[in-house]
Structure 1
Amino acid sequence: MTFVKLGQVMSTRYDLLPQEFIDELSTSQDRATPEPWESTAQVLHEELGAPAAEVFAQFDPEPVAAGSIAQVHRARLHSGEQVAVKVQRATARAIVADDLDILYRFASKLEHHTDWGRSVGAEALAEGFATSLHEELDFRIEARNTLSVAAVIEQSTSDSVIKVPEVHLALTSRRVLVTEWMEGVPLHSVADLLDDGGPGREALAQAMLDCLLGQIMTSGVFHADPHHRAFAARDVGALLDTLDPDVEWVHPEGLAVYGLGGTRRGHAGVKEFLAHVPTVLGGMRLRPHEFVRSGERMVVFGTREVTSRRGRTETMSFVHSWTLRGGRAVRMEDIFDTVLFHRLIES
């Protein structure tokens, strides 16, 4: 189960794995083997204090999705409201404990016997993964996080197209999470809908970007696992809204030869920089992977796919260091391997 979860994490790392691996690992997101209904019914009875048939007016024993830790069923409350019921697998905790023991041993071997394991801190990575996984086993934490994100979105704008399902706290416990049922199409399957009279691509991408940046830069409470495609499109106007009018926009001095290095100031400087990028590069796409915020400082780790004017593409890591004030960025410093950048441009 733990290693299935690792596979799910890796299925989002387009920067590390080829597409055929991504496609195969993605099946672990919601198409795992379902838990037998008898086991699921027992968990529901233990957590809710009564059989599902008494708690719900209707409950579909066939899950609509099954993951490594839990599966989701559709149900109807006695009030008539349709809900999604997430039920933890009966053996999840025991299996996770055994799997983590294997993972700890493997990480220890890597750190003590390989240079790579020591350089990445394999044991610390395993410990962090274990902490995150243990939190996932308590659905009350997920419920609180859902409510927090929903409150942030509601406070930022009351007319956002981004909606968070309502949580039914009275029916939520350590192993059962009940939320509002929301119809929708997964992002990875939304292309046909967008091309067939649905919401516009740019409008949808912009709404997701605005929502995520607002969470990160204004409240500090944010969804930490968005799908990378949410970052595929961005608008200069939306970016400037997150920047202080006197922002410092800093890039390595080594890029000065291309007109991209040094410090630019204010919205005009940022717009000038962004307008100049297409004259040097054929294209660039950012893929943020991790956000770390402490007070008025935020660091973003990720990769960027950079395409030269001749069509050659390289993937390089980057770090963005942001200084915030009053919910807006007053300084952004871009840190990355300029040697690799030079090679790409000159090749």
Structure 2
Amino acid sequence: MRWLAAIGVLMALLLAVTPGGARAHALDPGYLSLENVTGQSWRVFWRKPDVSGRPMEVDAQLPAFCTPASGPTPYTDGKAWVSQWQANCSETLQGATILIDGLENTQTDVLLRLQNADGTVITSRLTADVPAFEVPVQLSGLAVFWQYLVLGWEHILEGLDHLLFVFALLVLVQSPGRLLGAITAFTVAHSITLAAASLGLLSVPSPPVEAAIALSIVLLAVEILKQGDGKPYLTANAPWIVAFLFGLLHGLGFAGALSEIGLPSGDIPLALLAFNLGVEAGQLTFVAGVLAVFVVLRRMVPALARTLHAPGAPGTKLLGYAIGGVSVIWLTERVAGF
């Protein structure tokens, strides 16, 4: 009974820190897209999150010289609330401010994407602290690089499924050398598929990819639970192979997020490089944080550290059950959503 209670507590903690219960990502963000059609005419697409069957109380506000400055009553697409309209602006949007009214009263964010007539794309993440965006007069290469670097960083740190996969690798692979090889292989692999999918060389539907990512975590959880039985398992013996193969899969997941943002036509290689570096920076930050916590535990509570570190130890098995339980819920949700 104590084992069941311990498992239940850890599962509850994992689900508690997962926004929306067993969802792999944070509460669905809003999305505002402005595409320059011709002259000062803009095609606007506004998607705001669903809250208990009703649209979140936020609204996209274009500058006052645009008509209309806000869109029609939104309709539901089954997951969020959508409105579309064409706005005619008597002045250029450069230097103007776009506001998400009411965002300061929420805990979500809004991704803004603005595409100019020349194909250049400007993206920004608006939050409760920064609900408005001033359109830059000119976007330099450095600004593009920084913009996509931050977007990559934010995506990986909000993608709990990707982080849980990396965490499972940390639990499975005990050798520092093998762990470094596994992380490197994972990085190389998802960089390949991220670039290929973003450049249009590879196209895979998003729902099966998301389900397969959840399945990859389930498989690692199974190997965590089987550790210590004396049998050789692929992840323990050749972690770089498993990390590389699953990294190809996770790269498609990253590409799905990047496709929603879009790439600036004049700076595609730069933006792609920056986004990938942002993903890596976020991933390495997470790994460093987990290892730092373990080092502190090893010094302050060595007995607990041993039970979390040794293959087949009670603490390790507890982690395996928790990781497997959450990932099975994700897998079930995603398959049911096909």
TM above 0.5, yes or no, is no
Task: Tell me the TM-score normalised to structure 1 length.
Answer: 0.23
Task: Tell me the TM-score normalised to structure 2 length.
Answer: 0.23
Answer 1 or 2: which has greater strand percent: 1
